[in-house]
């Protein structure tokens, strides 16, 4: 296993583990590596120092203060606001998963009662909903099941 420091096109830094360098490249090229903060799939390896174990005597020295924040912790006001938005959406609407387009259309056409929902739709499904006047909006985060 290899751990990479990664950075998305929105300049968010995060880490993830991969079986090999080839595994990272293959997954990234297929769009399966996404930023844990914004969901962007435009991800590149960031510059990182190798992890070298110190000698046994040096291992007792005090830890440095430049440690990165734990994965997933918000580091800016924007990230805190996105986390709060995500929490609000998840607590106040039903997650319908990949059935989002069908559920939204059924509510719009009066076939099912209206309620707040969130879920996933392919770009062409979302475009068709908008063209048909169904009021939908993309969320600025990805579902938890798709996070690395």
Establish if 59 belongs to a structural domain: no
Q: What's the pLDDT at 134? A: 93
Residue 117's pLDDT band, with cuts at 50, 70 and 90, is very high
What's the rounded Cα separation, in Å, for the pair 96 and 48? 39
Segments forming the whole domain that contains residue 123: 77-146
Establish if 38 belongs to a structural domain: yes
| pLDDT tens per residue across span 1-59 | 788 889 999 988 888 888 888 888 888 998 888 888 888 899 998 876 666 667 666 55
Establish if 20 belongs to a structural domain: yes
Q: What is the chain's mean pLDDT, rounded?
A: 83
Same domain, 141 and 84: yes
Same domain, 40 and 83: no
Establish if 71 belongs to a structural domain: no
Same domain, 44 and 81: no
Same domain, 88 and 44: no
Buried b (16+ CB within 10 A) or exposed e, 43-77: beeeeeeeeeeeeeeeeeeeeeeeeeeeeeeeeee
Establish if 90 belongs to a structural domain: yes
Looking at the 3D structure of the chain, how many domains does it have? 2
| pLDDT tens per residue across span 61-106 | 554 445 555 556 777 888 888 888 888 999 999 999 899 999 999 9
Q: What's the pLDDT at 65? A: 47
């Amino acid at each position: 296993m290899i751990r990479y420091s990664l950075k998305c096109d929105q300049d968010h830094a995060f880490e993830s583990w991969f079986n090999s360098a080839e595994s990272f490249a293959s997954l990234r090229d297929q769009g399966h590596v996404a930023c844990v903060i914004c969901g962007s799939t435009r991800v590149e390896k960031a510059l990182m120092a190798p992890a070298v174990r110190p000698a046994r005597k040096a291992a007792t020295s005090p830890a440095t203060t430049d440690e990165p924040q734990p994965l997933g912790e918000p580091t800016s006001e924007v990230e805190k606001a996105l986390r709060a938005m995500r929490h609000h959406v998840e607590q106040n609407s039903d997650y319908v998963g990949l059935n989002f387009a069908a559920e939204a259309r059924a509510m719009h056409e009066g076939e099912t009662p209206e309620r707040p929902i969130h879920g996933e739709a392919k770009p062409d499904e979302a475009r068709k909903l908008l063209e048909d006047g169904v009021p939908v909006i993309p969320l600025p985060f990805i579902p938890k099941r798709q996070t690395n």
